[in-house]
Amino acid sequence: MTQTAPIIEATNLDKFYGDFHALKDVNLTVHQGQKMVICGPSGSGKSTLIRCFNGLEWHNSGKLVIDGIEVHEHAKEIRELRQEVGMVFQQFNLFPHLTVLENLTIGPMKVRRIGQQEAEETARKYLDRVHIPEQANKYPSQLSGGQQQRVAIARSLCMETRIMLFDEPTSALDPEMINEVLDVMVELANTGMTMVVVTHEMGFARKVADTMVFMEDGRIVETSPPDQFFTNPSSERCRIFLDQILEH
Amino acid sequence: MPPVHSFVQRLKWPDYLIAAVLIGFFGYIWYAIEGTLNYKWRWELIPGYIVGWHTGREEYFANLLLQGLTATIRISIYASILALILGTILGVARCSANLTVRMLARTYLEFLRNIPPVVVVFIFFFFLSQQLIDALDLARWSRGIARQDDIWLWELFFGDMRRFPSLISGVIVLALFESAFVGEIVRAGIQSVPKGQREAARSIGMSRTQELRYIVLPQAMKKVVPPMANQFITLIKDSSIISLISVQELTYKTVELVASSRMIFEAWITTAAFYFIVCFGLSRLFARFEKRSDQR
């Protein structure tokens, strides 16, 4: 793979929650168009790391540069940054008091100050892209989990983001709905979007990822291309973890 | 299917005992009033104090009790609108990221929670609403309106215009007093909105103000409708306190009626019934709305 320009550069990141050392000296570079999958046992800091990438958490020391903006708690550009970095949450977090269409248009209209008509056209385009154009006027509670998560993906896409972060997007879903969400994510990957995905869906990782990252105990233990990662991981702990989740 | 028993069939012997004790108790009070005080009941005069007949002009007019009731209803409506506005600001301030703002809101709340309502009413009256009315010169302005002809619209909304300043200070005092409790309801509503909602709003680039206005408050306000309706009923009851600062609402008018006619028991029982009918009626009405919105 030819190297493109780096879009996320984390250098020596440390993060504490009180006494708990959540991220320990994390170094990571994501290039434009890269598809990175981060996995690891729960509590290993995966979610914390990607939440730092759009300013939902703040690192305590180290340096984080995203799309040319240095991220820290008092950065004025943090709102511009968030418009470039989309986030899909485990619990979908759709706005329950708004219809699907309003969920998709509120960001572009209020944040980017785009007219309603244009925002709705964009929204319908992305609803098409996630295969639920017919649900536009329903409320989130009327949709299945899989549909809700696809709306959440469309909501991020409507902001025309350059990077998409996924925080365990399929963990809260019933098994039969996981594939419809993963399919949308695969299609999204094919459009060239930069993606950082925290997930345990190794089938998806094999299909899409160009870089696998394994985290444990706040540290990045292993970073390697998927063929090497799945067949011959360099660290013992990563091997054990993979054995555990791939066994059945 | 279990047999359905009527109310009487379900009564057991303790129920009869309790009923007997209650009848005995009220019978004794009745006896005390009738026998010892030699009280003369004049219930027949009460309707005349609700709607009076003006013999000179040959027309009906709203007498003391009805005047008081309409004043109470007016004041309650205006005060709850004002309290809702102030309380929302207060509730938002209680959840502010800024420590000073949070502390100020907290101080106001603790002040109101730990001082008796009567004292609060006097303090608000002398320190705030009186100064405000003087500063705006409301007394002269309203006298000017009272002197004009054809002021039925003014009177529909504010009653006797000569009493306008007193009505306004009543509304202000009551609203300030209730705003603290409305603020707590709003704060609870805001905090009941899941954290993920705020994160989602922030992740699409919303500012804190936008997050509050478009995402958090609409959801919070929907959740606080039932406690807010209860608070409105509480406000109607609390409005009797402002009779102390000579606002001519129902309680004040009743005191006036008792002083002039000496119908202590009839007047107070009637007034109690007015408050009860208004408050109980509203609570049943709100309960029905709530049930209907649950079904949806």
CA–CA separation, A124 vs A154, rounded Å? 9
pLDDT at position B62: 81
Q: Which residues of A fall below an 8 Å CB-CB distance to B?
A: 54-56, 79-80, 82-83, 85-87, 89, 91, 93-97, 106-107, 110-112, 152, 155-156, 159
Does B204 sit within 8 Å of A107, measured CB to CB? Answer: yes
CA–CA separation, A130 vs B2, rounded Å? 54
pLDDT at position B154: 79
Does B215 sit within 8 Å of A95, measured CB to CB? Answer: yes
pLDDT > 90: percent of chain A = 62
Q: In this complex, is the C-beta atom of B206 within 8 Å of any C-beta atom belonging to chain A?
A: yes
Please list every residue in chain B whose beta carbon sits closer than 8 Å to the beta carbon of residue A93: 194, 196-197, 199-200
Most B-contacting residue of A94, A95, A161, A164 (CB-CB within 10 A), to test interface:
A95
Does A159 sit within 8 Å of B202, measured CB to CB? Answer: no
Q: Nearest Cα to A85, choosing from A13, A128, A32, A12?
A: A32
Mean pLDDT value across chain A: 90
Q: Which of B69-83, B119-133, B191-205 has the lowest mean pLDDT?
A: B119-133
CB contact set of A73 (below 8 Å; sequence gap of 6+): A58
Burial code (b: 16+ CB inside 10 Å, e: under 16) for A77-103 equals: ebbebbbbbbbbbbbbbbbbbbbbbbb
Can you tell me the ipTM of this complex?
A: 0.90
Residue B2 has pLDDT above 80, yes or no: no
Please list every residue in chain A whose beta carbon sits closer than 8 Å to the beta carbon of residue B205: 79-80, 82-83, 107, 111-112, 159
pLDDT band at A198 (very low <50, low <70, confident <90, very high): very high
pLDDT band at B222 (very low <50, low <70, confident <90, very high): confident
Residue B14 has pLDDT above 70, yes or no: yes
Does B197 sit within 8 Å of A110, measured CB to CB? Answer: no
pLDDT (average), residues A188-195: 92
Please list every residue in chain B whose beta carbon sits closer than 8 Å to the beta carbon of residue A56: 199, 202-203
Does A89 sit within 8 Å of B204, measured CB to CB? Answer: no
Question: Looking at the partner chain, which of B196, B205, B206 has a beta carbon nearest the beta carbon of A89?
Answer: B196
pLDDT band at A211 (very low <50, low <70, confident <90, very high): very high
Please list every residue in chain B whose beta carbon sits closer than 8 Å to the beta carbon of residue A76: none
DSSP state string for A60-91:
SEEEEEETTEE--TT-TTHHHHHHHEEEE-TT
CA–CA separation, B278 vs B248, rounded Å? 18
Distance from CA of A98 to the nearest CA of B (A): 9
Which long-range CB contacts under 8 A does B123-131 form with residues at least 24 apart?
B124/B172, B124/B173, B124/B176, B124/B177, B125/B169, B125/B173, B125/B245, B128/B172, B128/B173, B128/B176, B129/B168, B129/B169, B129/B172, B129/B173, B130/B169
Question: Looking at the partner chain, which of A55, A87, A97 has a beta carbon nearest the beta carbon of B222?
Answer: A97
Q: How far is CA B277 from CA B61, B96, B237, B241, in A?
A: 22, 40, 12, 19
Does A86 sit within 8 Å of B203, measured CB to CB? Answer: yes
Neighbours of B2 (CB within 10 A): 4
Please list every residue in chain A whose beta carbon sits closer than 8 Å to the beta carbon of residue B195: none
B59 forms beta bridges with B54
Distance from CA of B104 to the nearest CA of A (A): 24
Does B200 sit within 8 Å of A82, measured CB to CB? Answer: no
B residues 18-77 lying closer than 8 A (beta carbon) to A = none
CA–CA separation, A168 vs A198, rounded Å? 5
Residue A36 has pLDDT above 60, yes or no: yes
Q: In this complex, is the C-beta atom of B204 within 8 Å of any C-beta atom belonging to chain A?
A: yes
The per-residue pLDDT for range A82-141, each reduced to its tens digit, is: 888 999 999 999 999 999 999 999 999 999 999 999 999 999 999 999 999 999 999 999
Please list every residue in chain B whose beta carbon sits closer than 8 Å to the beta carbon of residue A166: none
pLDDT at position A248: 57
The per-residue pLDDT for range B33-46, each reduced to its tens digit, is: 777 777 788 888 88
Which two three-digit tokens encode residue A140?
A: 């989130």
Please list every residue in chain A whose beta carbon sits closer than 8 Å to the beta carbon of residue B203: 54, 56, 82, 85-87, 89, 156
Distance from CA of B228 to the nearest CA of A (A): 19
User: For residue A133, what is the enclosing H or E element?
Assistant: none
Q: How far is CA B270 from CA A81, B43, B256, B274, B279, in A?
A: 66, 10, 14, 6, 14
Distance from CA of A4 to the nearest CA of B (A): 25
pLDDT band at A75 (very low <50, low <70, confident <90, very high): low
Q: Nearest Cα to A173, choosing from A200, A149, A141?
A: A149
pLDDT at position B92: 92
Most A-contacting residue of B190, B204, B209, B219 (CB-CB within 10 A), to test interface:
B204
